[in-house]
Amino acid sequence: MAEFKFMKTERRGNVGIVTFNRPEALNALNEDVAIEVTDALRAFDADDSIGCMILAGGEKAFCAGADIKYVLDQTFETAYLHDFANYMDQVAEVRKPIIAAVRGFAFGGGTEIALMCDIILADLTAQFALPEVGLGVIPGAGGPARMTRSVGKAKAMYYVLTGKRFDAAEAERIGMITKVVEDGRLMDEAMALAQEIAAMPRLSVLACKEGVNQQAEVPLIPGRKVERRLAHALFGSADKMEGMAAFAEKRKPNFTKY
């Protein structure tokens, strides 16, 4: 497997573990991090000795969302030309099961990448949110589309329109995550589950995942294309520039009044 700067990779028998490793930025996503997490998971997917994967973060954060420095300079032109957030979508196309083990902050892109995984375990420290509306943009890596399919329109609309945080108990209650795990047990439970899945017949596991995804996500791709173009377009708005500048300067934004 390739060497990564922002990811740690580990094998435990037939389980591959990918861990975000940018603690100084709470594992925030920039282009390099997005590429590395995708490539690390795809490498384990291509490895015949691996039957299941775990995606984990650090003590304070699973992934705190997009690095504001990375998205601040995006315009409609750059986002559209380079198809911003497209590469990381390949996480959802990995054939083998991925278990997200969420501790601490999973905001914005952190929530989105967790939703790309097949099973989400979270401990009591986990906090989820899709706060992009407060920055003058929308989640552009599948958040609205996948969250709607997980929890239904009413709950997804509430959290996407308000950007409110919600904890692991609420995430389990609305059906967005699989299970809340007591503190200190997250990786043990994730590993036990990954080993159980990896021990199943490989073809059956791949077929089960494909079958569930077909039923859950057949309409996903057209919706994702629209969602991504909306995200690209909003990079050209004055509110995007003001929202992200205010965030970087730690002040209240002064959005355009229409």
Instruction: Give the active site residue among 16, 51, 112, 140.
Output: 112
* CA geometry: angle 44, 47, 52, nearest 5 deg: 55
What are phi and psi for residue 224, nearest 5 degrees? -65, -35
What are phi and psi for residue 228, nearest 5 degrees? -65, -40
Catalytic annotation present for 242? no
Catalytic annotation present for 59? no
Collapse the DSSP code of 198 into the 3-class scheme (helix H, G, I; strand E, B; otherwise coil) and give the result.
Answer: helix
How many Å apart are CA 172 and CA 135, to the nearest integer?
A: 27
Catalytic annotation present for 66? yes
How many Å apart are CA 184 and CA 81, to the nearest integer?
A: 44
Instruction: Give the active site residue among 56, 66, 100, 126.
Output: 66
How many Å apart are CA 97 and CA 121, to the nearest integer?
A: 13
Tell me if 177 sits within 8 A of 186, measured CB to CB: no
Given 3-state DSSP classes, what are the helix, strand and coil percentages for the chain, each rounded to the nearest 5?
Answer: 50, 15, 35
Collapse the DSSP code of 232 into the 3-class scheme (helix H, G, I; strand E, B; otherwise coil) and give the result.
Answer: helix
Amino acid at 234: L
How many Å apart are CA 170 and CA 180, to the nearest integer?
A: 10
Catalytic annotation present for 154? no
Instruction: Give the active site residue among 51, 57, 58, 109.
Output: 109
Instruction: Give the active site residue among 56, 132, 142, 190.
Output: 132
Catalytic residue annotation: 66, 109, 112, 132
